[in-house]
């Protein structure tokens, strides 16, 4: 393995996601939910370990009908609440809400390009189902292929291999050009018995949510997550930007104003948009980052 492959970081992925624009331009992106129970840390099977991210509330400039069609009809999430201005899905053990963006949210919160809200978030899946997740999702949307050094020669070419996290992922875009990810974290040891199939029930809970900052504000955001939320960098001793652990990560991304992905023509750029997140945390309370429209509720 080359040194460059070993050093590939998640920040590199989120900086350089390569994808042919025509792939998305030609493809219009329009069960029973597993609920985790409290566990006893690393010794417990991951399906019995309570996830960190309990709820996400994100903005969208895309009509809610398209978001419903994508997440309910294509992905298969149940609709928990449905209204004129927002819709909430049961995304495994996480509630995922999309709310219609107001004009001031689009113009006034740091967005670039067309100014429409966009986010990165991920979902944990069983660690032995990445191949099946890849096949299942590729029947529904195009997948974002990795760079050469992020590939695993034992898996299809559109699966990402994060060696430093002991994980494999697939990425795709939703109708709002949010970049969505399914990630199989092998350290969780959450193998599913039915390893030869994948469906909505295998999307266990939200695993990551990205918080975009300027480079000057990134250290402040990291300090906020340490002091207010009691989170540590992941993995321990690493360059701090991913805060939490395999059950849920809050990502501090110093990307304001930059292109969503190098060498692509996806019509979105990194921007700062209102984000609400409810987490399981050691320090209960509602917190807002100074100067940023990010609200995190810890329970």
With 80 as the cut, is the pLDDT of residue 49 above it?
no
Average pLDDT over residues 85-99: 98
Q: Is pLDDT of 47 > 70? A: no
Question: What confidence tens digit (pLDDT) does each residue in 54-89 have?
Answer: 999 999 999 999 999 999 999 999 999 999 999 999
- Section 160-165 average pLDDT: 94
- Specify the pLDDT at position 96: 98
Question: What does the alpha-carbon distance between residue 74 and residue 68 come to, in Å, rounded to a whole number?
Answer: 9
SS3 132: helix
In this prediction the pTM is 0.83
What token pair was written down for 205? 């809970």
pLDDT of residue 20: 35
pLDDT digits (tens, 9 = 90+) for 207-238: 999 999 988 899 999 999 999 999 999 998 88
State the Rg of the chain over Cα. Answer: 18
Q: What confidence score (pLDDT) does residue 195 get?
A: 81
Average pLDDT for residues 184-197, to the nearest whole number? Answer: 94
CATH number, domain at 254? Answer: 3.10.180.10
279 CB burial (10 A radius; 0-12, 13-18, 19+): buried
What is the number of domains present in the chain? 1
Residue 181 has what pLDDT? 97
Structural domain for 171, as ranges: 3-298
SS3 196: coil
Helix boundaries (H) for 17-126: 21-25, 64-68, 103-108
What's the whole-number mean pLDDT along residues 261-277? 74
């Amino acid at each position: 393995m080359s040194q460059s492959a070993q050093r590939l970081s998640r920040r590199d992925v989120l900086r350089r996601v390569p994808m042919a624009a025509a792939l998305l331009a030609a493809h219009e992106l329009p069960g029973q939910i597993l609920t985790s129970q409290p566990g006893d840390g690393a010794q417990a099977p991951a399906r019995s370990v309570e996830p960190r991210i309990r709820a996400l509330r994100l903005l969208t400039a895309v009509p809610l009908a398209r978001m419903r069609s994508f997440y309910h009809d294509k992905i298969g999430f149940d609709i928990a609440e449905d209204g004129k201005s927002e819709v909430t899905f049961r995304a495994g053990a996480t509630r995922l809400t999309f709310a219609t963006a107001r004009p001031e949210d689009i113009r006034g919160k740091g967005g670039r390009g067309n100014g429409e809200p966009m986010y990165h978030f991920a979902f944990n899946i069983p660690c032995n189902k990445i191949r099946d997740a890849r096949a299942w999702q590729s029947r529904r949307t195009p997948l974002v292929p990795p760079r050469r050094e992020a590939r695993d020669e034992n898996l299809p070419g559109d699966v990402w291999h994060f060696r430093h996290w002991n994980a494999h992922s697939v990425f795709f875009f939703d109708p709002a050009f949010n970049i969505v990810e399914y990630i199989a974290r092998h350290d969780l040891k959450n193998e599913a018995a039915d390893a030869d199939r994948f469906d909505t029930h295998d999307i266990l809970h939200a695993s990551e949510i990205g918080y975009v900052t300027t480079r000057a504000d990134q250290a402040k955001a990291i300090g906020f997550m340490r002091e207010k939320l009691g989170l540590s960098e992941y993995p321990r001793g690493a360059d701090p930007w991913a805060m939490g652990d395999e059950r849920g990560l809050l990502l501090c991304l110093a990307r304001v104003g930059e292109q969503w992905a190098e060498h692509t023509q996806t019509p979105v750029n990194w921007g700062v948009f209102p984000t609400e997140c409810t987490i399981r945390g050691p320090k209960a309370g509602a917190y807002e980052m100074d100067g940023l429209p990010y609200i995190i509720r810890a329970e």
